[in-house]
Structures are given as structure tokens and as C-alpha cells.
Amino acid sequence: MTEWLTAEQQAYWRAYLTATALLQDRLSRELQEAHGISLSDYEILVRLSESPERRMRMSTLADRTCSSRSRLSHQVDRLEGLSLVVRQACETDRRGSNAVLTDTGMDLLVTAAPTHVAGVRQHMVDCLPEEQFRALGEACEAMVEGLRTTAAMDAPSA
């Protein structure tokens, strides 16, 4: 039998859903208006910028950005059209491909980063006392760990 949420749990759950949706929408709109990219685009550029040689296998990039491979492929196509990313064949596996951050993409990321950081600070960090922000971070880390453990247990064995 399913144990229903209490009224308080339901209120916090809905507040979480609303807050995350509003935050992601606001951050994405700010990046779109100022730099012509979405929050998802920004995340791809960040992940590539932090990778050796600014390159990452597409399947790994999909996993790191919590995107389906199909959705990521469409996003990378669009970013390629903007000359921010290029796709290159994977040297170790001809079936795979890498996304590579271009110099133009890196320049845009450097320009967009202050907009993003200011938005995160204004709409999240500065809205919470330090102890609440820390507790939120710890709670999210615990959720990520639990979800990744569940996903690993659900994955078909090779």
C-alpha cells in the first residue's frame, strides 16, 4: 500500500517543483536575452570547457547533462550551426563521436558566465540564509546519490 504524503510534505514537494521550474526558466531567459543561448546550451558549453582538450564523447555528455542522447544530438546540431561546437569522430571507437568546444564557443561562455553567475546568486544564493543554502545543497547531493544508486541497480547487466 502506498503511503501518501502528509500535507506538509505535499506543500514542500510542490514548492520544490515550482521553485526549480521558475529558477531554470528565469536563468534560461536571462542567458537567451543577453547571449542567445539557453540554460541547457550553457550547461553543454560548461561541461565541454571543463573537459580535457574541451572535448567529450557525446554519450558521456548526454549522461553528464542528464539529457537523452537524441535531445543532446539536436542541441549539439544547433550549437554547431552557431559555430560554438563541432562534432568529430571518436578516435577510439568509430561508432561514437565527440563534441568539441570551439574558440567561438569558449569566447561566448566566458562572456555569458557573469550573467549566469549573477542570476544564480540573485535568484537562489542570496534568497537563502547560508545554513538553508548548505542544507539545500546537502539534500540535493543525497537525492542525486540515491537516484544514481537506483539507476545503477535498474540498469541491465552486460
pLDDT digits (tens, 9 = 90+) for 25-70: 999 999 999 999 999 999 999 999 999 999 999 999 999 999 999 9
Return the residue matching grid coordinates 506543500.
11
> What are 149's three cell numbers?
544508486
Q: How far apart are CA 155 and CA 67, in angstroms?
A: 17
- Class (C level, CATH) for 25-152: mainly alpha
What is the pairing mode between strands 97-101 and 55-57? antiparallel
pLDDT at 157: 62
pLDDT by residue (tens digit) across 64-107? 999 999 999 999 999 999 999 999 998 887 778 999 999 999 99
The structure's pTM equals 0.89
Domain boundaries, the chain: 25-152
